[in-house]
Amino acid sequence: MNRFIHAVPCSICLLITLASEFSAATANDRKPNIVVFLTDDQGYGDLGCFGSDSLETPNIDRLCKQGMKFTDFYVHQRCSPTRLALMTGSHAHRAGCTKVIYNKDRIGIHADEVTTSELLKTAGYTTGIVGKWHLGEWDAFNPTRHGFDFFYGFMIDIDHETGIYRNLKRVESIRRKTDGTHSPKLLDAAIGFIKENKERPFFLYYASPLPHTPWIPNEQFNGTSQRGTYGDVIREIDWQVGELMKVLDEQGISENTLFVFASDNGPVLGIQGGDAGPYRDGKWTDFEGGIRVPCIMRWPGTIPPSSTNSQITGIIDLLPTFCAIAGVDTPDDRVIDGRNILPYMKGEHVEEPIHESFIVSGSVIRHGNWKLLVRDLKPGGKSGREGKRPSALAGSLFNLLADPGETRDVSADHPEVVADLRRQMDAAVHELEANSRPIGTLPDTPLPATKNNLKKNVRQ
């Protein structure tokens, strides 16, 4: 009798131990969650960990200390193209759009594009987007029609009034996406999504509308920085990042979550705002200040802490990298420009660079440390607020290692480099024209008369 009484607790202990080990094994075998936090118009020099001595970003700096800093991470020079590249793994030129997509355009991401969210769903991920979509303001282009299970963010109705939507339903009319009163709402939606899906792999795309103009910080951040209203908004972004890091910790899933932080393009210049750090110019240009942005990735146990990668990488690489992590193939019926950069993230030795070049078709090419301008580049923006910053002529060649600010044209000293880069650009342009895809349009709407579309006479 006594033996039976003592055996029961032992059996229970054994079951508990086995259950615990099974649970741990299941957690370890589970595919990692993925969080992408994308800011809007934030400059390379607007983070403490990227060299700012006037902005305090303790949460983002902690993210950087726990992960890897990517110093040569490229995007497009404006909002919609970068977001299109994130969703498709292709340069925006290839996916049919290099402009900002407005409601009046009646265009958006094409229904035939295979998006990052759609691919992750095939691997069992629950997908959510919070914040700014900007890949078509019409119902046909709603994120829930392109692979997202959940959407809480901004769209513009046919009456041109901005609203906050939950999936397909408009829940609130607003004036400004950048009003800080919305930040707590966005955070609540993101936190709710994380908590609801903590037991299964999820992909959360947190597309903050900050620090796009006009700067309207949440009241708790007014006057908290050394850089005026813009600095207050950066503090607000840092708070958003910190809150997401906190909920991942509280739910016990930080260790199994890849957290990516980046900006969609460089800063708006000519006003007391963003800082491109050591790089030239900002948004609207293909100077380094417009297309090179801060990027941080943290994945405990996989990405070495306090590490740096200085190879050419970019927003186009996220789709194939996420596919490699999730165990799904990238589409093989179209050209995907991005590459799997997981070896970089793991700190592995890579014999040859994953990308030897970064090319903005018909505009600039970076190969190694060389950068050639194929067309004239003017200062960023069209409003004239940016002041009398100098232009640069087509044919200008810069050595980015010696001259990151693109101030000294050395083309006359290196004609062989100029000739080689021109050949590479010509080949890239011809290849892209042969393998580009159209942007999506609403029914009965002609395709935008872009140069590529006119050449290809592409039809829906």
Among all residues, which ones are annotated catalytic?
Answer: 79, 134
Could you tell me which of 86, 99, 82, 75 has the C-alpha nearest to residue 449?
Answer: 99
Closest by CA position to 296, among listed 25, 66, 4: 66
Q: Which of 290, 257, 279 is nearest to 33 (CA)?
A: 257
- Using an 8 Å Cβ cutoff, are 440 and 88 in contact? no
Q: What residues have CB less than 8 Å from 378, skipping those under 6 apart?
A: 285, 391
The DSSP letter of residue 152 is: E
Between the CA of residue 261 and those of 112, 124, 203, 357, what are the distances in Å? 28, 23, 14, 23
Distance CA 361, CA 85 (A): 14
Q: Is residue 142 helix, strand or coil?
A: coil
Distance CA(138)–CA(140), nearest Å, equals 5
Q: What is the 3-state secondary structure (H, E, C) of 185-197?
A: HHHHHHHHHHHHC
- For residues 263 and 274, give the distance between their C-alpha atoms in angstroms, rounded to a whole number: 12
Distance CA 236, CA 328 (A): 36
Q: DSSP labels for 239-277? A: HHHHHHHHHHHHTT-GGGEEEEEEESS----SSS----T
Angle between helices 318-326 and 79-88 (to 10 degrees): 30
Contacts of 281 (CB under 8 A, 6+ apart): 266, 269, 287, 288, 289, 290, 377, 379, 380, 389
What span, in angstroms and rounded, lies between the C-alpha atoms of 57 and 238? Answer: 6
The Cα–Cα gap between 21 and 175 comes to 52
Q: Where are the alpha helices (DSSP H) in 30-126?
A: 58-65, 79-88, 116-122
What distance in Å separates the CA atoms of residue 418 and residue 421, rounded to the nearest whole number? 5
Q: Is the peptide bond before 214 cis (omega within 30 degrees of 0)?
A: yes
Q: Which amino acid is it at 279?
A: Y
DSSP for 286-304, written as a single string? -SHHHHEEEEEEE-TTTSP
* Tokens encoding 258: 């890849």
